[in-house]
Amino acid sequence: MQKIRIGYGYDVHQLADGEEFWLGGIKLDYHRGAVGHSDADVLIHVICDALLGAANLRDIGYHFPDTDPKYKGIDSKKLLAETTKIIRNVGFEIGNIDATVSLQKPKIKPVIPDMIKCLSEVMEIDKEDLSIKATTTEKLGFVGREEGVDAHAVVLIYKK
């Protein structure tokens, strides 16, 4: 019997004027951006957390702590590449990833194909194995007030 595992990730980042907005490895052209120790790419962070959790390897903060200056401003694609390497080093491969970003503005549906291309290349998986969806909160809560962005991801990994 093949061993399969499921992992889940959730993350939130505050939005602020004048910050760069990286999402899914793509820099968005918007006057507000996510605040964080790294480049604050909430989508990459939830994928990392889900992959690490599925492999029972703790979380992104354990492997890449925000107290370590070497991660200050780091491109989250590097964290994703390292996370993928970590789970592969213990014998797991990615089956598929399903992620949702909740953001009132800007609208990201037009750049989702670019995000899928970028992240699938970083993880060395087929584009068909990565689903990225976008939603709003119908102007409710911190996302609706455009104070922040959140994301969820579910992954399936399996032993090679």
138 is in an annotated binding site: yes
59 is in an annotated binding site: yes
137 is in an annotated binding site: yes
65 is in an annotated binding site: yes
Average pLDDT over residues 124-145: 96
| 65 within 8 A of 154, measured Cβ to Cβ | no
Q: What pLDDT sits at residue 141? A: 96
What does the mean pLDDT of the chain come to? 96
Whichever domain contains 146, its CATH number is 3.30.1330.50
66 is in an annotated binding site: yes
35 is in an annotated binding site: no
* Listed residue (104, 148, 105, 154) closest to 132, CA to CA: 154
61 is in an annotated binding site: yes
Q: What are phi and psi of 123, to 5 degrees?
A: -85, -5
Residue span of the structural domain in which 134 resides? 4-159
pLDDT exceeds cutoff 90 at 1: no
Count the domains in the chain. 1
Q: What pLDDT sits at residue 39? A: 96
* Listed residue (16, 51, 54) closest to 34, CA to CA: 16
Q: Cα–Cα distances in Å, from 27 out to 20, 39, 54, 74, 101?
A: 7, 10, 28, 14, 15
Rounded CA gap, 73 and 156, in Å?
29
**pTM score:** 0.96
Q: What pLDDT sits at residue 2? A: 79
pLDDT band at 19, cuts 50/70/90? very high
Q: What pLDDT sits at residue 61? A: 94
Rounded CA gap, 88 and 75, in Å?
21
84 is in an annotated binding site: no
38 is in an annotated binding site: yes
42 is in an annotated binding site: no
Task: Tell me how crowded residue 110 is: count the other CB atoms within 10 A of its CB.
Answer: 9
DSSP 103: -
**Residue matched to tokens 């909160």:** 137
Average pLDDT over residues 81-89: 98
Side by side, the strands of the sheet bearing 4-17 are 32-34, 4-17, 148-159, 92-102, 130-135
Q: What pLDDT sits at residue 160? A: 82
